[in-house]
Amino acid sequence: MKKETKRTTIYDLATRIGASPSSVSAVLNGTWKKRRISTKLAERVLKLAEEEGYTVNTQASLLRRERSNIIGMIVPKYDNRYFGDIAEKFESMARSRGLVPIVTCTQRNPDLEFDGAKELVSYQVECLISTGATDPDRISDFCHAVGVQSINMDLPGSKTASVISDNYAGAFELTQLILDRCERELGWVGPLRFVGGRLTDHNTAARLEGFLAAQRERGIAVPDDYVMAEGYSAKKAEQLLANFQPTGATGLFVNSTISLEGVVSWQSSLPDGGAMIRYGCFDWDPFGSFLPGNVGMVEQDVETMLANVFDLIGKTESTTELIKVPCKLRVFGA
């Protein structure tokens, strides 16, 4: 019977080198710089690990380089054209600059966001972009503590630079469009309903402000219960509208394509299929132009936002600059 070869352990490596197991572990998991372990010891550990056939992880191998050239991004969702577009363009633009992109999805969960940030930092990312993070300041504080640059995108924070859409202006313009089309096509003037989003999110709050301002400008008062912002899910949007059975013309401002799925499902359940409804969506999907009653959508300028993000990468001076990028209003059936 062939004798099984004993696997080399961290403790074996530590004994051979004369270092503590925790120091060897720090070298192998890429956290040796934070522990102030010398480069000389780190190189000895790696050399011996290779000689002994110990599996050296990606993080540790990066210490051989002066720079990792890795940049990371966390995104909240993949099943959304906007965030999918961000992830795809981020990877393409990073590679065109000789950088290695890593993207992870965090499901709008603050704990997953923080865990994702820690994992990316363990891979020696030179910069971490938090996209749509629910608690960006927590991530920025962590990155600052370990000496990694952080940038916010889509949702702003207060601890580092942020690149976002001009949500107020985009919502103001979209609301005007919906009001105009309700009056012109349905002969109706009245308050619109705001569907989708979270009022605690900066973007929803800014869009709601623009939504209300556009109606105030026309002397339209919006009842409090017309603001239906209890989450982004399609199911939640449909539930919020379930008891609303319009007897005449009406209009809606929909705060994401995810919420739009719920709105369309509710609309299709109405006796007339929602023929007397006009709405617009602050989000973009080319298929939206085929939906009945949809007068327009706001397309966020992902390419310009990312160009601003990449301009910030590598800048060592501390900044909390807020960069707002104008959106594009796509009008349907004008």
What integer pLDDT is reported at residue 134 of this predicted model?
A: 92
Percent of the chain whose predicted confidence (pLDDT) is above 70: 92
Longest dimension (CA), the chain: 90
Average pLDDT over residues 1-7: 50
What's the pLDDT at 23?
Answer: 86
- Please say whether the beta carbons of 330 and 299 come within 8 A: yes
pLDDT score of 165 more than 70:
yes
What the block records as the tokens of 277 is: 């409804």
pLDDT of residue 54: 66
Per-residue HEC secondary structure of 92-149 comes to HHHHHCCCEEEEEECCCCHHHHHHHHHHHHHCCCCEEEEECCCCHHHHHHHHHHHCCE
Is the pLDDT assigned to residue 255 strictly greater than 70?
yes
Amino acid identity at 91? E
Q: Is the model's pLDDT at 50 over the cut of 80?
A: no
How many CB atoms are located within 10 Å of the residue 101 CB? 18
How far is CA 193 from its chain centroid?
26
Residue 3 pLDDT exceeds 60: no
Identify each DSSP E strand in the chain by its residue range: 70-75, 100-105, 127-131, 149-153, 162-165, 193-195, 197-198, 227-228, 230-231, 250-254, 277-281, 294-299, 322-325, 328-331
Higher pLDDT, 54 or 82: 82
Q: What pLDDT is stored for residue 172 in this prediction?
A: 98
Buried b (16+ CB within 10 A) or exposed e, 122-132: ebbbbbbbbbb
Q: Looking at residues 12-31, what average pLDDT do you find?
A: 82
Cβ atoms < 10 Å from Cβ of 247: 6
Name the more confident of 241 and 10.
Answer: 241
Answer whether residue 129 shows pLDDT above 90.
yes
Distance from C-alpha of 62 to C-alpha of 196, rounded to nearest angstrom: 43
Burial class (CB in 10 A: 0-12, 13-18, 19+), 65: exposed
Which region holds residue 219: left if phi is over 0, alpha if psi is between -120 and 50, else beta? left
The answer to whether 63 and 40 are in contact (CB under 8 A) is no
Q: How confident is the model at residue 76 (pLDDT cuts 50, 70, 90)?
A: very high
| Residues above pLDDT 90, as percent of the chain | 71
Q: pLDDT digit string (tens) for 95-121?
A: 999 999 999 999 889 999 999 999 998
Give residue-wise pLDDT tens across range 29-41: 767 777 788 888 8
The angle subtended at Cα 73 by Cα 116 and Cα 29, nearest 5°, is: 50
Sequence-distant (6+) residues with CB within 8 A of 19 are 41, 45
Say what the pLDDT of residue 58 is.
46
Contact of 118 with 142, CB cutoff 8 Å? yes
pLDDT, residue 6, reads 58
pLDDT classification of 210: cutoffs 50, 70, 90: very high
Which pLDDT belongs to residue 12? 81
Summarised one tens digit per residue, pLDDT across range 273-317 is: 999 999 999 999 999 999 999 999 999 999 999 999 999 998 867
Whether residue 200 has pLDDT greater than 80: yes
Statement: residue 63 has pLDDT above 80: no
Among 173, 139, 151, 171, residue whose Cα is nearest residue 322: 151
Mean pLDDT of the chain: 90
Name the more confident of 140 and 45: 140
